[in-house]
């Protein structure tokens, strides 16, 4: 009996110890996952072959496309033939179909919904605040990027391209302020990108290139209501050409910075934030559509596909990656997924 009791006691102790060990291992695993384990942090992906060559659309090296799409098939290529209306059904109607957004009347005692009159007051307040900010920028900061609100002086933040001016163009359109849009447009036309400066590929793409393209579409939509001869598209194409050297890497993923006059500098780091790689698709694709030049879409798709090929075994994308070796240098990141959506 005593031996049996001892065995039962020993068995219970072993069970308790095993459970304790299991819980500790589970707890340790959770800690490791949330503190960027080195295995994930420095996981090396498979480097794409064939990307060491300089960008060349004509050679047909675009096997990374998941869908079967031949860039050299001019007859059936919608980008080259500019078949936007038929294929993409893009109708940029902007001001033509502008309708003042009116919400419903108040319908519940528990849930507040502003009336039409209150919505009108809100719109006027927003418009007043916007014009106050914009007018002060023009008076105290233009042509620099941004206005310092305390000192009322201008500052260069992303290249000194009158960034606030470009940001404001589509806001004028949303507010149906055609006169303000045209006045700002005349100033934007004077911007020159032939400058010996290093710029952020990420910020320049999403704010300047994107702003120029969207404003170009709005300007075209206005037709003869304003004087416009594709100046914004010319600026966008010039900027796009200056951004392309950043993508000339072994993996096809871009550097984080590039010099607008001389390309990538010798001292530039090869480590890039994944948001830079994953957020160029809209801007570069539309630049290809509007200029009938597939090189921009080709370049961006190659970069995104290369980044995706370097994902971890868990299917995750890190924060920073070496665009020459494909090594992850920093782990957890939501920026790629956020901007890619």
Q: Are 238 and 312 in contact (CB under 8 A)?
A: no
Strand partners, 273: 320
Q: What is the mean pLDDT of residues 81-106?
A: 42
Residue 50 has pLDDT above 80, yes or no: no
Q: In degrees, to the nearest 5, what angle opens at C-alpha 154 toward C-alphas 151 and 158?
A: 130
Q: What is the mean pLDDT of residues 152-180?
A: 89
pLDDT in tens, 121-150: 888 999 999 999 999 999 999 999 999 999
Average pLDDT, the chain: 75
pLDDT in tens, 172-223: 988 889 999 999 999 999 999 999 999 999 999 999 999 999 999 999 988 8
Identify the weakest region by mean pLDDT among 137-151, 154-168, 281-295: 154-168
Please count the other Cβ atoms lying within 10 Å of the Cβ belonging to residue 122: 12
Inter-CA distances, 6 with 3, 14, 16, 18, Å: 5, 12, 15, 18
User: How many angstroms from the chain centroid is the CA of residue 249?
Assistant: 20
Minimal CA–CA distance to 98: which of 12, 26, 177? 177
pLDDT in tens, 222-254: 888 888 999 999 999 999 999 999 999 999 999
Please count the other Cβ atoms lying within 10 Å of the Cβ belonging to residue 192: 9
Interhelix angle 231-243/178-188, rounded to 10 degrees, is 50
Q: Are 311 and 266 in contact (CB under 8 A)?
A: no
pLDDT in tens, 6-16: 555 555 555 65
Tokens of 335: 């920026």
User: How many angstroms from the chain centroid is the CA of residue 220?
Assistant: 24
Give the DSSP per-residue string, 261-273: TTBS-TT--SEEE
pLDDT in tens, 197-210: 999 999 999 999 99
């Amino acid at each position: 009996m005593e031996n049996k009791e001892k065995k039962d006691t020993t068995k219970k102790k072993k069970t308790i110890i095993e459970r304790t060990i299991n819980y500790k291992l589970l707890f340790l695993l959770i800690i490791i996952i949330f503190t960027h384990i080195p295995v994930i942090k420095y996981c090396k992906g498979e480097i794409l072959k064939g990307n060491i060559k300089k960008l060349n659309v004509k050679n047909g090296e675009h096997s990374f496309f998941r869908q079967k799409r031949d860039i050299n098939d001019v007859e059936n290529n919608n980008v080259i033939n500019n078949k936007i209306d038929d294929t993409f059904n893009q109708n940029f109607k902007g001001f033509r179909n502008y309708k003042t957004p009116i919400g419903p009347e108040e319908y519940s005692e528990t849930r507040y919904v502003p009336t039409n009159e209150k919505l009108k007051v809100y719109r006027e307040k927003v418009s007043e605040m916007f014009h106050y900010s914009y007018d002060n920028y023009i008076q105290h900061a233009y042509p620099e990027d941004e206005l310092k609100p305390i000192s009322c002086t201008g500052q260069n933040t992303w290249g000194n391209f009158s960034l606030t001016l470009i940001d404001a163009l589509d806001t004028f359109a949303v507010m149906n302020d055609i006169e303000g849009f045209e006045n700002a447009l005349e100033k934007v036309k004077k911007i020159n990108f032939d400058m010996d400066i290093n710029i952020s590929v990420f910020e320049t793409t999403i704010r300047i290139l994107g702003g120029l393209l969207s404003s170009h579409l709005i300007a075209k939509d206005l037709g003869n209501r304003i004087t416009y001869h594709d100046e914004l598209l010319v600026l966008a194409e010039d900027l796009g050409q200056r951004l392309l050297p950043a993508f000339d890497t072994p993996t096809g993923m871009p550097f984080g910075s590039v010099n607008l006059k001389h390309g990538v500098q010798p001292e530039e780091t090869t480590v890039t934030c994944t948001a830079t790689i994953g957020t160029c698709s809209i801007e570069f694709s539309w630049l290809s559509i509007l200029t009938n030049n597939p090189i921009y879409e080709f370049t961006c798709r190659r970069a995104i596909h290369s980044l995706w090929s370097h994902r971890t075994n868990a299917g995750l994308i890190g924060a920073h990656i070496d665009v020459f070796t494909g090594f992850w240098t920093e782990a957890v990141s939501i920026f790629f997924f956020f901007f890619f959506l």
